[in-house]
Amino acid sequence: MLEKQLSQAITFKDNIFHLRSGGSSLLMQVTKSGYLAHLYYGHILPEGSYRMEAFTPPIGSASFAPNTPKEDELLSLSTALLEYPTYGTGDFRPSAIEATGKDGTAAVDLRYRSHKILSGKPPIPGLPATYAAESEADTLEILMEDAHTGLLVTLCYTAFRDCPVITRSVRAENQGDAPVVLERIYSCCADFPTSDYDLVHLWGSWAMERTIERTPLGHGGRRISSTRGSSGHFHNPFAALLGKEAGEETGEAFGFSLVYSGSFSIETEVDFLGQTRLLCGLNPDGFGWTLAPGERFDTPETVMVYSDTGLGGMSRCFHKLYMNHLIRGPWRDRDRPILINNWEATYFEFDEQKLLDIARAAAPLGIDMLVMDDGWFGHRNDDHSSLGDWYVHKGKLPRGLGELSDQLHALGMKMGIWFEPEMISPDSDLYRAHPDWALQIPGREISPARWQYVLDMSRKDVQDYLFERLSSILNSAKIEYVKWDFNRNLTEVGSALLPPERQKEVGHRYMLGLYSLLERLLTAFPELLLEGCSGGGGRFDPGMLYYSPQIWTSDDTDPIERLMIQAGTSVVYPPSTMSAHVSASPNHQTGRVNSLHTRGIVAMGGSFGYELDISTLSDEEKEEIARQVKEYRACAGIIRNGDYYRLISTPDVYAWETAAADRSTVLVSCCVIHTRVQQTLIVKLRGLDENAWYHDPESGNIYSGGMLMHAGLNLSALGLRDRDAVMIRLEKI
C-alpha cells in the first residue's frame, strides 16, 4: 500500500490519502481491516501537518454498536465517519450502496484492494461530466472489493488544482460468477463530525424555480430528491451545508451538485452522536440495475465545492467550473445571439407571414435571431397533437423551412427552432405507427400529461428515429439554434424491449439514451447552439449544461418574479446559462405591469432576448429596444465571463454585480420591488480593486474601489420607485 508520491495534489502516506484542491483538503485513511475511513474535508491543510490520531472512532465500543474485525478493534461502522458506507454490515445510517447477490441478501462489505493516481480526469462513459486537461487536475481511483459477491467498486476522486473542487463518481464491476443487482449506488458520501450546519437547497415549482431555502439540520433524515425521471422544477440536484455563522460572503460552505438530469436523491442524516452524513446521486426509489458477471456500471458525477467565503464564494466556484470545465463546444466562449422567440408573441397562432413580420421589426433593432417555437410541425395548432411528427406544418409554413430561413438570413438574422424530441402525442402518426415506442407498462393505462406520452429513450430505434428526423430538419434549412423542450415527467416507466428483471433500469437507461442522442446530434452539427428547456426551468441541471450551454430559466417572464428565480439559479449556475427574455406588459403569467426599462435590466442578468410581438410596438418602444440591444452587446462578455455577486436579495430590493475578471469594468444592477419612502438605498460592491478609482461615465462620478466596497454606492438619490431598476457601469481609471 505504500506508494510514492505521484502528484502534488494527491498523496498517499501512512495509509492516509490527502487530496488538495485549490483551497480545500480531503483526507481519508485505509484502516487495518481495509475500510476507508473519512478523516477530514474542509479548508486546505498543509502537507505533512496532519497529526490526527490514525483513526479514532468516537465510541467504538458503545452499546448497540457492532465492532468490525479484530484488526480494527476500536472501529465501529455504526459510528465511524466513512467514505463509502455500505448496507447491512454494521452501519445503520443511510448507506451509499446496497446490492443483492446470488444468496438473495443485500449486504455489501467493501475493503480496500489498491489505488491509482492519474493526471487529468478520465471521462465517465455515456454520462456528462466535468473535464480537465492533464495539467489541471489529478484523479485518485480507489479499488474496493466485496469478497462475498465479487463486486468491485472503484471510488473515483478528481481534485482540480486551481479551484476548491473535488468530483466524485463510482464504478461497479461484477467479477463474481452470478448476477448482482445494484439496489442503490450513490455517487458520493460526505460524513461530517458535527451537525453545526444549515442545509441550503433550491426548491420550486413550475414558474417559480430554484427558490433558496436555508434550514437547520435536525436529527434524523432529510431528502432533497426527484422521482420524476427528470431533475424537475421542484428540487434542483444541489444542496449545500453552510456553517451556522456563514452568510453570503463569509464562513464555510460545502456545495454538492449532481451532473445528472434524471431522478436523483440528496439525503442528509444526523446520527445520535450529532454527526452528519450527506449522500448524493441516483435516486434509489424505483431503481435497480442487474450487473451480470463481467458487466460494469458507472454512476453520474457529484461535484463538491468547498468555500470559506460563504455561499457567494461557492457560487463563483461553481460558475467558473461549469463555464470552463463542463460546458463545451464553440458557444462556450462566444457571446450568445440576442434572440426573439415567438412563443409569448403568438403562441400556436402563427404562420410564415407573422414570423417574418416579427423578424422585420426585430432585425433593424439589432436582434440576431428569430426562434420559431412550438407549433411548426405535424398538424399542431394547440398542445393536443403531433409531437413525434417532426415534419413541417404545411398550413403554417407552405413554403417550408428553407424559405423561412432564407428570408430570415436575408434580413441578417439567424434562425432557431423548437423541438420536444422525447415526447409523443397519442394523436400523432408516430404513435399510430409505433405505439410500443411510448414508455408504458403492459396492462396499465399510460397517464397522459399535457395530452402527451413520453418516448422510450432507452430504445436504440427510438433514438435513431429522432436522430434521423432532427438531422433531416436541421439539414433542410439554415438553422443555428434548437430549443430542446421537455414538458412532462415520466410515469409508467417500462420498456417493451427489456426483460422483467431489468425494468427498474429504464429510468437511468432513458437518461443514457437521451445523452447519447444529444451527443450524436452535436457531433453531427458542431456549430449548433442548444438551449435546454422543460416547461421553463424544469431540467436546469449540470447534466443538460454539458450539451446545452444555456437553458430557459422559467416560464415566468415577469421581471419581478425573475429576480428571485435568477438569484436562486445563480447559486449554482453561471448567468450565461440562464436564458432571460423581455416579454410583454402586463405580464402573461402575473398580470403585473413593468416598464420596458426594468424588463430589460432584469433580462440582462442572463443570456438576453425578447419574447413579445415586437411588430406591434410603438416607435418609442422600438428605439428603447435598440438601445437595450446595444447596451447588452457592449457588456455581454462581462456578463458571460465576469465574477457574479448577489449583493442584496430581500423581498424589497435585489441588487447584483458582475465584475470583469481583470476588475476593469463592473456592472451593478438594482431593482426596487417595494419602495420605502425616505429610506436610504446603499449597495456595497464586492470584488473590486480597493486601491483603484472607478468612473461612472453616465453620471461622471468617480469613486475609490475601497469606498464602493466598504461605504457602498448610495442609490438613494436616484429615487427609484416600485419596480424601477438601474444598471450602472463603472470603469476602472
Residues that bind ligand GLA (CB under 6 A): 343, 373-374, 418, 485, 487, 533, 535-536, 552, 555
* DSSP 3-state of 732: strand
C-alpha span between 51 and 31 (Å, rounded): 16
CA torsion 223→311→581→422, rounded to 10°?
-30
Q: Rounded to an integer, what distance in angstroms lies between the CA atom of residue 419 and that of residue 422?
A: 9
Residue (80 or 345) nearer to ligand GLA, CB: 345
Q: Given the complex with ligand GLA, which of 395 and 412 has the nearer CB atom?
A: 395
Residue 343 or residue 654: which is nearer to ligand GLA going by CB? 343
SS3 41: strand
Cell 417559480 belongs to residue? 208
Q: How far is the CB of 397 from ligand GLA (least distance, A)?
A: 17
Q: How far is the CB of 482 from ligand GLA (least distance, A)?
A: 12
Nearest approach, Cβ of 84 to ligand GLA (angstroms)?
A: 38
What crossing angle do the helices spanning 619-641 and 596-603 adopt, rounded to 10°? Answer: 20
Residue closer to ligand GLA, measured from CB, 459 or 581: 581
Q: Please report how close the Cβ of residue 230 comes to ligand GLA at its closest, in angstroms.
A: 13
C-alpha distances out from residue 608 to 615, 632, 635, Å:
19, 8, 11
Minimum gap (Å) between residue 449 Cβ and ligand GLA: 12
d(CA 392, CA 411): 22
**Min CB(450)–ligand GLA separation in Å:** 8
276: which 3 cell numbers?
452528519
Identify which of residues 288 and 609 has a Cβ nearer to ligand GLA in the complex: 609
Q: Which is nearer to ligand GLA, 184 or 233 (CB)?
A: 233
Written as nine digits, the cell of 299 is: 454512476
* 442, 444, 449, 451: CA torsion to nearest 10: 70
> Which segments of 271-351 are extended strands (E)?
276-282, 289-291, 296-298, 301-307, 339-341
CB of 257 to ligand GLA, least distance (A): 23
Using the CB atoms, write b or e for 688-713: b if 16+ within 10 Å: bbeeebbebeeeeeebbbebbbeebb
DSSP string, 540-595: -SHHHHTT-SEEE--S---HHHHHHHHHHHTTTS-GGGEEEEEE-SS-TTT-----
Task: Give the sign of the dihedral formed by CA 127, CA 129, CA 132, CA 134.
Answer: negative
Task: Cite the active site residues.
Answer: 485, 555
The dihedrals phi and psi of 636, each to the nearest 5 degrees, come to -60, -40
129 or 578, CB closer to ligand GLA?
A: 578
Q: What residues have CB less than 8 Å from 163, skipping those under 6 apart?
A: 21, 22, 305, 317, 320, 321
Helices marked H in 98-141? none
Residue nearest to ligand GLA (CB): 374
State how far the Cα of 220 lies from the Cα of 94, in Å rounded to an integer. Answer: 10
- Closer residue to ligand GLA, CB minimum distance, 281 or 532: 532
Q: What is the largest CA-CA distance in the chain?
A: 84
C-alpha cell at 146: 466485496
User: What is the rounded CA–CA span in Å between residue 504 and residue 85?
Assistant: 23
Q: Closest approach of Cβ 418 to ligand GLA, in Å?
A: 6
| Nearest distance from C-beta of residue 554 to ligand GLA, angstroms | 8
CA distances from 182 to 41, 151, 291, 292, 361 (A): 28, 10, 7, 11, 57
Nearer to ligand GLA, 514 or 635 (CB): 514
